[in-house]
A and B are shown apart, each in its own frame.
Chain A
């Protein structure tokens, strides 16, 4: 009679446990929200997904067994049911069993965990290299073989909507906080090496669909690799706290079929040639002010604010500042090389000569600074080339 009672309770409790885990781990998926790790589009992401699921289910089975035993005891072995307390204090046999079985489970888990790590860390021969540099708070991408480089920042629409009390409805913004002005364009079915570093503080480059993240550490270069199976758009974010706008430096990958990618590279090279020609000509004041305003809004306003009033105490105002209203050579030097010990970074290698010249012209004439002078792209090019 008593034995049977225990069995019925054990069965009922175990069923309740399984139901509880189902409610926690499966049911929330029916809300339409993503609740699990992505399988991604690379071998590494698939490997990590499978490994994640194996370990998760091992944990669930352990949880069901341990919690069931506990709740069976809670149901049966209570004083209110006049259960007499046994007085045993140990069982060497049981203790040996529940030391050895976990060790065996760990060994079983360690085998696929080791191969997965080796797959990640031992890179094959790669066909192209992209250098990724993290800045506060944008990413710079350089195609090492092709000489293409650009900066990728949060797109303007998200950037406006995310301001405190902006009044904008995030749901109305396409891919709110996960959209950039210039995505990283990559070819599918190509082994790509990434060289990852940072310019100021530590960042972490993470696109879940690739299956990994890697820290971008200033002064050091980390390597990673990938081979993306399918063309498409894949989104990610910086994953290491990097200051006030850490939440606002997304990553967007635009993966193209190989042929289309080659076409994109050719087009970028043509654009670069065009830009070089543009540097040589003399720009009108209006052209510089127009371009300058858009560069300022995209790159500078995060810190110095749209009205040039800055954000005390870290980000000084540009309106009426001794720099924007001071000698032009010092202003250029500060923007090209940054100022050590402050958040002002060196923009010399991040923006094109025309962009820098335009931003300088704009800040010297906007916000009531009215210096009246213009900075030509040529000047920037001459100073940068010594």
Chain B
């Protein structure tokens, strides 16, 4: 393939940019000392860096758990771990990846980019910002510590369905409180993002001129505020059922175990959009840059994002087609779920139209963005299949579902995170990363992620349930292939780590303010790295500084 072989780095050493960089650096007043700089920081960039570093650490911890899972599933028969520990691994892998890796990574991006993208000096609520980050290390220390307790880590799946989750021992309280803390952190982060976007925009940055990434995060923040308290309520009821003898979810005491599932998925479905909407935003920034062509259908993109967010509140029970709902309920949730395909389709068509007749180059961020569009679409199409309630009675709780949600989360959300990292690393650090190793990282990841997850479609259709530590021999071949893909994908991520470390500490290649030839938007008129306080005076907004030009309707 010749797609990867068109490096174009001539634009990366721009004289004017370097000049601005030196000039602005002079005015930086970074606090001195590790405690002042990091623990007490109220700076959006430093907090953004903390979030990103934390999520990268969690990504590797959660990834290590995935390696345990894939190693046990490499062959039929139990070779490495007891089933109970296997269940702890699947549960923890999901909790860590969802709450520890993907969500904080997006908040990290929001912290770094939103003030710069809307022409603000910092986030609106800097102390709250500090607090919302520093809760997280405590939350995840608590969560991970359960693995070392007598009663072990949570083993009932990240969905924590009772009564099974209530069979956990004393450590269950740690899980509940950790979830509470993550929720508080997310809610505070969201309040801050909403306050920043609604109050801190530079004059002229009207809502419908904001970059798509800012739009998607604004909508995501509202989703978070709406649903995190619902999760907090659900786990609190689990807590009192477990330790104080209430019967919210205990049929013998007048409760209903299925009620938990309704409450959980009322949170859980918006939650999956919380993880994917910012990804839509990042990809909508990257594709126009490397196609050197404005984003196609900007306002349609905004409205599609809002529609997806609205629909996400009325589809929750499609996770529960097998629990025994009345026919009318099943029909409603099936139709509503199918509808999500329409705004999602609009997004995919608009990305392709943005590329159409552009002048494309394929640097690492663009490669990851294209990988995102293709592989997320595959995950979206299998999602449409899962929406068909009657057939879902076959798909449900099989590896087909596992394949589906990993396609939308790994080559979906995670690829978008990587695309965004490569895209903005020159901006953040002032250095170019190694394009060669970035591309190697992309191709290894893109190939191995498919070896890892595509065969899981076959396994699910052929009848392999999810969350089992051992399987009958008919599933052996594809499990082995999937595990090989998993080990490859896992080790490829060490390249990612290496590229980042090299870029931050070792790279000698300076990045200009604009960094990418086709990049537009306020963050690119700042130097690379940007000044400690982004915009002390609001920038002048005109069509040359906007990420997306006004549509002439």
Using a CB–CB cutoff of 8 Å, the interface residues on chain A facing chain B are 24, 28, 31, 33-38, 44-45, 47-48, 51-52, 55-56, 59, 62-63, 66-67, 69-70, 73-74, 77-80, 83-91, 94-95, 98-99, 102-103, 106, 109-110, 113-114, 116-122, 161-166, 168-171, 175-178, 200-202, 204, 206, 208, 211-215, 217-220, 222-223, 236-248, 312-314, 343
Contact = CB atoms under 8 A, between A and B. Distances in A.
- Give the residue among B79, B81, B390, B454 with the most A Cβ atoms within 10 A: B390
A59 B352 contact: no
B551 A242 contact: no
A204 B396 CA distance: 10
A161 B355 contact: no
A170 B470 CA distance: 10
Contacts of B155: 243-244
A34 B400 CA distance: 13
B381 A59 contact: yes
A239 B398 contact: yes
Contacts of A201: 163-164, 167
B6 A98 contact: no
B293 A86 contact: yes
Contact of A33 (B87, B345, B477): B477
10 residue pairs, one from A and one from B, having the closest CB atoms = A219-B251, A247-B468, A116-B390, A35-B458, A222-B324, A212-B393, A85-B359, A59-B381, A86-B357, A34-B462
Given A176-B473, A241-B466, 9 more contacts: A84-B359, A91-B296, A162-B470, A165-B79, A177-B472, A222-B323, A238-B465, A239-B465, A314-B169
Given A69-B356, A87-B294, A59 B385 contact: yes
18 contacts: A73-B358, A77-B355, A77-B358, A78-B362, A79-B292, A89-B294, A94-B349, A98-B346, A162-B78, A165-B78, A166-B77, A200-B163, A201-B164, A202-B161, A223-B324, A244-B155, A247-B469, A314-B169
Interface stretch (B194-202, B208-216, B336-344): B336-344
A232 to B, nearest CB: 16
B388 A55 contact: yes
B255 to A, nearest CB: 8
B71 interface: no
Given A56-B385, A246-B467, A246-B468, A121 B164 contact: no
Given A33-B478, A122-B327, A214-B324, A74 B150 contact: no
A65 to B, nearest CB: 10
A170 B77 contact: yes
A24 B345 CA distance: 22
Given A122-B327, A343-B167, A241 B467 contact: yes
A213 B300 contact: no
A122 B330 CA distance: 13
A330 B257 CA distance: 31
B463 interface: yes
Contact of B338 (A52, A106, A117): A106
B469 A109 contact: no
A90 B551 contact: yes
Given A48-B393, A106-B338, A117-B390, A241 B157 contact: yes
A52 B386 CA distance: 9
B331 A117 contact: yes
Given A24-B454, A33-B462, A63-B378, A211 B393 contact: yes
B125 interface: no
Nearest to A137: B83
Contacts of A90: 296-300, 551
B374 A168 contact: no
B375 to A, nearest CB: 11
Contacts of A175: 472
A290 to B, nearest CB: 30
B81 A164 contact: yes
B396 A239 contact: yes
Contacts of A33: 458, 462, 474, 477-478
Contacts of B240: none
A106 B164 contact: no
B480 to A, nearest CB: 11
Residue picked from B296, B374, B394, B549, most chain A C-beta under 10 Å: B394
The SS class assigned to the A binding surface is mixed
Interface residues of B, number: 108
Contacts of B473: 170-171, 176
B167 A164 contact: no
Contacts of A171: 76, 473, 476
Contact of B3 (A28, A63, A74, A165): A74
Contact of B331 (A85, A114, A177): A114
A149 B465 CA distance: 27
Nearest to A86: B357
Contacts of A110: 334-335, 338
A177 B83 CA distance: 14
B181 interface: no
B298 A243 contact: no
B258 interface: yes
B360 interface: yes
Nearest to A62: B381
A28 to B, nearest CB: 6
A246 B258 CA distance: 19
A313 B472 contact: no
A213 B397 contact: yes
Given A106-B338, A202-B164, A217-B257, A38 B463 contact: yes
Contacts of B22: none
Nearest to B242: A341
A89 B391 CA distance: 40
B295 A220 contact: no
Interface in B295-314: 295-300
A80 B373 contact: no
A313 B155 CA distance: 14
Contacts of B164: 201-202, 241-243
A217 B324 contact: yes
A80 B370 CA distance: 18
Contacts of B396: 204, 213, 239
A247 B469 CA distance: 7
A120 B394 CA distance: 12
A35 B457 CA distance: 8
A63 B251 contact: no
Contacts of A48: 390-391, 393-394
Given A117-B327, A117-B331, A117-B390, A106 B349 contact: no
Interface string B251-270: 11000111000000000000
B14 interface: no
B78 to A, nearest CB: 4
A220 B324 contact: yes
A165 B72 CA distance: 12
A343 B76 CA distance: 27
Interface string B534-546: 0000000000000
Interface in B205-256: 250-252, 256
A36 B345 CA distance: 26
B8 interface: yes
B271 to A, nearest CB: 19
A208 B394 contact: yes
B322 interface: yes
B151 interface: yes
A64 to B, nearest CB: 11
B389 A117 contact: yes
Contacts of B134: none
B348 interface: yes
Interface in B280-295: 291-295
Given A35-B461, A165-B79, A106 B341 contact: yes
Given A55-B384, A99-B346, A244 B462 contact: no
A204 B377 CA distance: 30
A36 to B, nearest CB: 5
Contact of B83 (A88, A106, A244): A244
Given A86-B358, A106-B339, A217-B324, A117 B394 contact: no
A31 to B, nearest CB: 6
